[in-house]
Amino acid sequence: MKIINLDHLSANPLLPEVQEAMINTIRNNYGNPSSQHRLGDAAATALEEARESVARLINCAVPKEIVFTSGGTESVNHAIKGVAFAKGEKGKHIITSNIEHSSVIRSIKRLKLFDFKVTSVSVDKYGMVDPKEIEAAITDETILISIMHSNNEIGTIQPIKEIAAIAKAHNILFHTDAVDSVGVIPVDVQDLGVDLLSFGSNAYYGPAGVGGLYIKRGTGIWPVFDGGVQENNKRAGTENLIGIVGMGKAAELALKDMEKRILHSKNLKEKLLRELPDYLDEYVVNGHPESSLPNHISVSIKYIEGESVVLMLDEEGIAVSTRSACAAGALRASHVLLSIGCDFADAQGTMVITFGVDNTEEDVDKFLAVLRDTVVSLREISPLYNKVVK
C-alpha cells in the first residue's frame, strides 16, 4: 500500500541525496575523526564539511559554534542543564513557557532537584508567549530563559528575536528549542540574537537521532558527556559520522530549497484549511493564524478521540499524529492544548497534520474524503455526540 505521510513532524523520509551521502560514508569512510592517520583524516574532513553546511543553514559566525549531538533532546538537555550547572553559582532561576517540548519541561524539572526555581509563563489562545511577561518574570537570580522557536503541536512561531533582546539586556543567557523550525523556515542565530539553539536533522529530511546545539562563542556551559576531547571539548564521544554526514547534506539542501518547500507546504495547508469546512463540522483549528509553521496544521475535532482517527486513517494508508511522537506513549491530554484554553474533551480529539516535499494535492483530497468518513463513523458511536448534537 502506498502510504500518504501527513506526519512529517514525526518522521521524514531521507532525500535521495542524503541517502547517497550516508551510503557512501557507510561503504567508504569508517575512520575515526580523532585518529592521526589517513583513515582518520578522511573522517575528520567529512565531519567538518558537515559542520560547515549546518553552520550555514543557521548562519553561525563560525562553524565551531555547532556541537553535533544525538538529536534535539540531547541538545536541549545540554543547553539547559549545561547552563544551569555552569551558572548555578550566579543564580538558580530559570524562565520558560507552559507549552515547551517535554525535553525542556523535564530537563528543568530535573533541575528543581538541584534547588533551581522556575517561572513558566502562560500563552494566549494562539499559543503565543508575551515577551513582556518574560521580562516581568526576571529576577536577580535568573540565569537562563528557554522559549521554543515553534511549537511542535500547534505550529505557533514565537517572537524569539524580541525575547532574546530582553534576555541580552538583562545579561541572561537565552536558549531556544528550534527543532521544528530549523531547516523548515529561515532561522538565523545572529539575527535572532540567541546564545543557544537546539535543532535536529529529521525535520529537514536528514536522519533521526542526529542533531546539533548552537553555542555562541564564549558561552559558559558544561558538557552533558564527560570524556574525550571531541567537538572542541564540548561533547565527548566518538561521533556518529554516518548520521552527521546525512545531516550535513540535508542542511545544504534545506538551505537551497527552503523557499520552494515553504511555498509547496503553504499551498497544501491553504487548500486543506479552505476545503475542510466542506468535509467536516464542529472543529477548531489550533495555533496562530499567521505566525505559524507553513507545513503544520492542528485540528481539534469535537466528540471523537484523536487516537481513533489516527488508527482508522492508518487502515486507509494515511499517517497522521495526535501530537508529537515523543509523547505518544503518554496518555494525558496535551499540556499545549490545555494551555491555549482547549477543553479536555477537545484536546483528546486533536489531530496534527504535517506536510512534506513528497505530498501532493491529491494526498489532501484523499485525506479529506477519508477523514469525513472516519469522523462520521466515529461520531455515530460517540455517546457524547449523540447526547449533545442529535
Question: From CA 57, how far away is CA 265, in angstroms rounded?
Answer: 19
Q: Is 215 in the site for its own copies (CB under 8 A)?
A: no
The residue from 84, 196, 210, 253 that contacts its own copies (CB under 8 A) is 210
Region binding its own copies by CB under 8 A among candidate stretches 142-150, 229-237, 296-304, 372-380: 229-237
| H or E segment and range at residue 97 | strand 93-97
Question: From CA 390, how far away is CA 61, in angstroms rounded?
Answer: 61
| C-beta closer to its own copies: residue 166 or 253 | 253
Show the binding pattern over residues 55-74: x = contacts its own copies (CB under 8 A), - = does not.
Answer: --------------xxxxxx
Question: From CA 269, how far away is CA 275, in angstroms rounded?
Answer: 10
Closest approach, Cβ 388 to its own copies, in A, equals 27
Question: From CA 15, how far away is CA 274, in angstroms rounded?
Answer: 29
Q: Which of residues 67-106 bind its own copies (CB under 8 A)?
A: 69-74, 76-77, 85, 101-103, 106
Q: What is the DSSP letter of 228?
A: S
Indicate the SS3 state at residue 95.
Answer: strand
Closest approach, Cβ 318 to its own copies, in A, equals 8
Q: Which of 326, 338, 345, 368 is catalytic?
A: 326
Closest approach, Cβ 322 to its own copies, in A, equals 7
C-alpha cell at 210: 542526529
| C-beta closer to its own copies: residue 219 or 240 | 240
Q: Which of residues 307-366 bind its own copies (CB under 8 A)?
A: 307, 310-311, 313-314, 317, 319-322, 324-330
Region binding its own copies by CB under 8 A among candidate stretches 166-174, 235-243, 290-298, 345-353: 235-243
| C-beta closer to its own copies: residue 239 or 252 | 239
| C-beta closer to its own copies: residue 220 or 317 | 317
CA triple 152-327-162, angle to 5 deg: 30
211 CB contacts (<8 Å, ≥6 apart)?
68, 69, 70, 71, 72, 73, 74, 75, 179, 198, 199, 200, 201, 247
Q: What is the largest CA-CA distance in the chain?
A: 76
Question: From CA 196, how far away is CA 65, in angstroms rounded?
Answer: 9
From the list 245, 264, 355, 259, the residue with the least C-alpha distance to 17 is 245
Q: Which of residues 112-141 bind its own copies (CB under 8 A)?
A: 113
Interface with its own copies (CB under 8 A), residue total 81
Region binding its own copies by CB under 8 A among candidate stretches 17-25, 181-189, 250-258, 363-371: 17-25
Q: Is 34 in the site for its own copies (CB under 8 A)?
A: yes
CA distances from 213 to 66, 109, 224, 252 (A): 6, 21, 12, 17
Closest approach, Cβ 296 to its own copies, in A, equals 16
Closest approach, Cβ 43 to its own copies, in A, equals 7
Q: Is residue 326 flagged as an active site residue?
A: yes
Q: Is 229 in the site for its own copies (CB under 8 A)?
A: yes
| C-beta closer to its own copies: residue 47 or 194 | 47
Number of Cβ within a 10 Å radius of residue 82: 25
Q: What is the DSSP letter of 13?
A: P
C-alpha cell at 124: 494566549
Q: What is the DSSP letter of 287?
A: S
C-alpha cell at 292: 505559524
Show the binding pattern over residues 238-277: x = contacts its own copies (CB under 8 A), - = does not.
Answer: xxxxxxx---------------------------------
Region binding its own copies by CB under 8 A among candidate stretches 234-242, 262-270, 291-299, 334-342: 234-242
Phi, psi of 199 (to 5 degrees): -155, 165
Show the binding pattern over residues 169-208: x = contacts its own copies (CB under 8 A), - = does not.
Answer: -------------------------------x-x----xx
Question: From CA 283, how far away is CA 364, in angstroms rounded?
Answer: 17
Task: Give the active site residues.
Answer: 326
